[in-house]
Amino acid sequence: MNNRKVLMAMSGGLDSSIAAMLLQEQGYELVGITMKTWDNSQSGGNSKETGCCSLDSINDARQIAVSLGFPHYVLDIRDEFNKYIVKDFVDRYLEGLTPNPCILCNTHIKWAALLKRADQLSCNYIATGHYAQITKRNARFVISKSKDKNKDQTYVLWGLKQDFLKRTLFPLGMYKKDEIRQIAYNKGFVDIADKKESYEICFIPDDDYRGFLKRQVKNLEAKVDGGNFVDSAGKILGKHKGYPFYTIGQRKGLNIAVGEPLYVKQIKPETNTIVLGKEKELYHNVFKVTGINNIKYDMIPDGLEVAVKIRYKSKEQHGRIHKIDKDNARIVLNEKVKAITPGQSAVFYENDDVVGGGFIDEVIE
């Protein structure tokens, strides 16, 4: 296997395109690959096909590869993506949770698919355009934050195992986004430099997850419409449109008037009930995390002091990890934070290093 040969994941966007250029300048031999995970016809939506899986994006990726002189392939993983990612997305909402499909996709679909194809093409490494860094320390491969803290993407990478990390390159980790854009301008790739980024879930290009759920689950509205909004004491406040269509912390669209703002505090799918509360009732500091993946340490030390992110763009909160067992832990934050949401990820940091992460399972207090 060629130890300078890299399978470069290409979306057709700015970041992966410049990542390819940087690796090529460093002397790596590249093979480009674009993964087709989804198309709009699968969702039943009317939105124009956009994002990393669109035909335009695939063609853009191919053109970059051709211009830089390396081969490019398209890998169709729609069946696996639909089976594992989309099904999980729907199932989690039906369980009253709020999933983050990008993390699950990175962990269980994209990296596995890339490494399988890398082996077939005799590539020692895979590379992506994520803003993150990997270093080897104490016989472990550690993910650290990128130079650009505003663009840092370590939150969505916590699920990557050591076997994945040891063969992964993140060429953009030591750059800021503005620097990457300027490189594109300097090299004459103006169209790529000016290309708008997509922040939507790739299989929900219209950003309407409620409509997506309705199209995926036959007669969903009829099954869940008309459940009760209740307060913390169980008093009925009104009717809602179905528990899967609400998220923890939601205020808008409740259509409940009690003289003060109310928020979604808890979702109870077994009774199709949504508990509403005042804003102060949304604040907690103790929760359980499951499915933990250790990155910096072979075993996370019990009681380790860490900074914790409970959603991608949230502010880090300091606290401690108290291990329950190998895969589960109790997180105790120093201060209460708003809307800790089951189904989302909690990622643990020591300074810039990712200690590990897991899925928020239960809010305790």
Would residue 123 show up in a list of annotated catalytic residues for this protein?
no
Tell me the pairing of strands 273-277 and 72-76: unpaired
Distance in angstroms between the alpha carbons of the first and the last residue of the chain: 52
Distance CA 247, CA 267 (A): 8
The least confident of 53-57, 153-157, 185-189 is 53-57
pTM, 2 dp:
0.94
The predicted-structure confidence for 112-163, as pLDDT tens digits, reads as follows 999 999 999 999 999 999 999 999 999 999 999 999 999 999 999 999 999 9
Task: Tell me what the mean pLDDT of segment 290-307 comes to.
Answer: 97
Per-residue confidence (pLDDT) for residue 46, from 0 to 100: 52
Distance CA 105, CA 269 (A): 25
Task: Tell me what the mean pLDDT of segment 16-20 comes to.
Answer: 97
pLDDT tier for residue 63 given thresholds of 50, 70 and 90:
very high
Neighbours of 166 (CB within 10 A): 12
Would residue 105 show up in a list of annotated catalytic residues for this protein?
yes
Which has more confidence, 48 or 7?
7
Per-residue confidence (pLDDT) for residue 54, from 0 to 100: 74
Show the tokens assigned to 113. Answer: 């698919």
Tell me if residue 340 falls in helix, strand or coil.
Answer: coil
The predicted-structure confidence for 226-252, as pLDDT tens digits, reads as follows 999 999 999 999 999 999 999 999 999
Domains and CATH numbers, the chain: 2-193 (3.40.50.620), 222-277 (2.30.30.280), 283-363 (2.40.30.10)
pLDDT tier for residue 53 given thresholds of 50, 70 and 90:
low
Neighbours of 282 (CB within 10 A): 21
pLDDT tier for residue 261 given thresholds of 50, 70 and 90:
very high
pLDDT at residue 305 greater than cutoff 90? yes
Show the tokens assigned to 258. Answer: 């009690």
pLDDT tier for residue 44 given thresholds of 50, 70 and 90:
low
Cβ(120)–Cβ(108) below 8 Å: no
Which is catalytic among the residues 52, 53, 105, 123?
105
